[in-house]
Amino acid sequence: MAPSDPILGLTEIFKADSNSSKVNLGVGVYYDNNGKVPLLECVKSAESALVGKNAARAYQPIDGNAEYNLKVQELLLGAGSTVITDGRIVTAQTLGGTGALKVGADFLRNVIGTDQVWISNPTWANHKGIFQNAGFTVNTYPYYDESRKGVDFDAMIGKLSSLPKNSVVLLHACCHNPTGVDLTKPQWDEIATVVLNNGLIPFLDIAYQGFGDSIDDDAYAVRLFVERCPNVLIANSFSKSFSLYGERIGGLSVVSGSKDESARVLSQVKTLIRTNYSNPPIHGGGIVGSVLRDSNLRGLWDQELAGMRDRIKLMRSTLAKEIMRACPDHDFSFIEAQRGMFSYSGLQKPQVDKLRADFSIYVVDSGRICVAALNSQNVGYVAEAISKVLK
């Protein structure tokens, strides 16, 4: 038997729990204040228009829906980007952000010939397996300093500065998973300089664009690397920002030095996709493409995304306040400074186990909490349970 997945396996155990007070803070899914995964109004509207067309289901192109791919590029780089108009970026619609990472890893291993990747310590539990299965040796660079509840920037930049040329560096563009602790803009600038000067290959994972501060703010690192480095890979996902988890909708974008080079990159990416799953499904890309094409629906999406972001921020401050009310000797204000869905709570494995056994509250073993699963009905219960396991 293979071990169960550290994140999705937890949802399986949660589902089997009969305690009516149970709370799943494991998987990274946004729930609304009623504890439901929302179906966004912009998605509903785009979807009914699509379904109303009763369109036939022919195969998509290997790289997916062309309009969708262009809209992905515009979200990542900004609509006026000359990298787009110069044809220096190619995008393939993929099966979520995970699919983008996998196709990107296969491209780097099989076409570029690199075999060493550096991922942050800690990182999303699936990063290691994706790169290992693509044939990489997976190494880590320091990222999180528990004692400061912040980035260990000196150690991070020190490590990156020591890497050999053509090493792949996987970076969380925003809303770092699992810590919720992001680099500042000046820190990103320094990282980009090291990556450029040392000839490293940056691979940016952006699964939470719009969940941090705004669509544009959250794309800062992506735009910086694209401006400064000749070759950049970007894996993006709409699972969270469009609440389209089960549609598996994301994209792999590759920026290169010229239009000709981009055409060659796309030809190789298409070969990899064709031999993996042939071509992507229609529905998710159709929805996202329709919303991003239509200015009214795009405006509605911006509002709905801001609503999700603001609610998460409210839950951060409420959780911090409630824990500190119950446990005045613990400082939990760091939760408010973190960004995105997650908080690295600092809870240790025995405390995580106790939360599950005594309160049916499910947290990833590392102590990562999905703040986006809190609501006004369960946040008090969760805060009280955390304060009890802390004592």
Question: Using CB under 6 A as the criterion, what x/- string covers residues 173-192 for binding ligand LMR?
Answer: ----x---------------
d(CA 100, CA 238): 12
Our CB check for ligand LMR shows the closer of 24 and 93 to be 24
209 touching ligand LMR, by CB under 6 A:
no
In the residue annotation, 259 being an active-site residue is answered as no
Active-site residue identified among 118, 124, 188, 301: 124
Nearest to 360 by CA among 389, 318, 334: 389
301 catalytic residue (yes or no): no
Q: How many Cα atoms sit within 13 Å of 362 on the Cβ side?
A: 22
Minimum Å gap between C-beta 20 and ligand LMR is 24
7 is a contact residue toward ligand LMR (CB under 6 A): yes
CB of 235 to ligand LMR, least distance (A): 12
Tell me which of 63, 106, 152, 205 is the catalytic residue. Answer: 205
Q: Which of 24, 28, 144, 386 binds ligand LMR (CB under 6 A)?
A: 28
Among the options 159, 188, 240, 301, which is catalytic? 240
10, 23, 25, 27: which one binds ligand LMR (CB under 6 A): 27
Q: Is there a catalytic annotation at residue 240?
A: yes
- Distance, in Å, from the CA atom of 42 to the CA atom of 291, rounded to the nearest integer, reads 7
Using rule CB under 6 A, residue 238 touches ligand LMR: no
User: Cβ contacts of residue 178 below 8 Å, gap of 6+?
Assistant: 122, 123, 124, 125, 342, 344, 364, 366, 368
What minimum distance in Å lies between the beta carbon of 209 and ligand LMR? 14
Reduced to 3 states (helix: H, G, I; strand: E, B; else coil), residue 330 is coil
* Rounded CA separation 61/155 (Å): 44
**Would the CA dihedral through 264, 268, 270, 274 be positive or negative?**
positive
Residue pair 153/183 in contact by the 8 Å Cβ criterion: yes
Provide the pairing of β-strand 116-121 with 137-142: parallel
Nearer to ligand LMR, 7 or 75 (CB): 7
Q: How far is the CB of 28 from ligand LMR (least distance, A)?
A: 3
DSSP string, 278-307: SS--SHHHHHHHHHHHSHHHHHHHHHHHHH
Binding-site member from 68, 124, 144, 301 for ligand LMR (CB under 6 A): 124
> Which stretches of the chain bind ligand LMR, using CB under 6 A?
7, 27-28, 124, 126, 177
Active site residue ranges: 124, 205, 240
